Chain A
Amino acid sequence: QLQLQESGPGLVKPSETLSLTCTVSGGSISSSSYHWGWIRQPPRKGLEYIGSIYYSGSTYYNPSLKSRVTISVDTSKNQFSLKLSSVTAADTAVYYCARQRRGTYFDYWGQGTLVTVSS
Chain B
Amino acid sequence: EIVMTQSPATLSVSPGERATLSCRASQSVSSNLAWYQQKPGQAPRLLIYDASTRATGIPARFSGSGSGTDFTLTISSLQSEDFAVYYCQHYNNWPPYSFGQGTKLEIK
Q: How far is the CA of A63 from the CA of B45 in the complex (A)?
A: 25
In the complex, what's the smallest C-beta–C-beta distance from B49 to chain A, in angstroms? Answer: 5
Given contacts A46-B102, A105-B49, A107-B55, contact A62 B32 (CB under 8 A): no
Verify A63–B43 contact, CB threshold 8 A.
no
Known: A46-B101, A63-B1. A109 touches B95 (CB 8 A): no
B99 touches A48 (CB 8 A): yes
Of the listed residues B36, B87, B91, B102, the one surrounded by the most CB atoms of chain A closer than 10 A to its CB is B91
Closest partner residue, chain A, to B94 (CB atom): A103
**Which residue of B42, B46, B96 contacts A105 across the interface (Cβ within 8 Å)?**
B46
In the complex, whether B44 has a CB less than 8 A from a CB of chain A is: yes
Q: How many residues of A contact B (CB 8 A)?
A: 23
A60 touches B46 (CB 8 A): no
Q: List the B side residues contacting A110 at CB < 8 Å.
A: 43
Q: Which of B89, B95, B100 contacts A61 (CB 8 A)?
A: B95
Q: Does B98 contact A (CB under 8 A)?
A: yes
Q: Mark A43-70, 1 if CB is under 8 A from B, else 0.
A: 0001111011000000011111000000
11 other A-B residue contacts (CB within 8 Å) besides A47-B87, A106-B89, A107-B55: A47-B44, A48-B99, A49-B95, A49-B97, A62-B96, A63-B96, A96-B43, A104-B34, A106-B46, A107-B49, A111-B43
User: Which positions in A face B, CB cutoff 8 Å?
Assistant: 46-49, 51-52, 60-64, 96, 98, 101, 103-107, 109-112
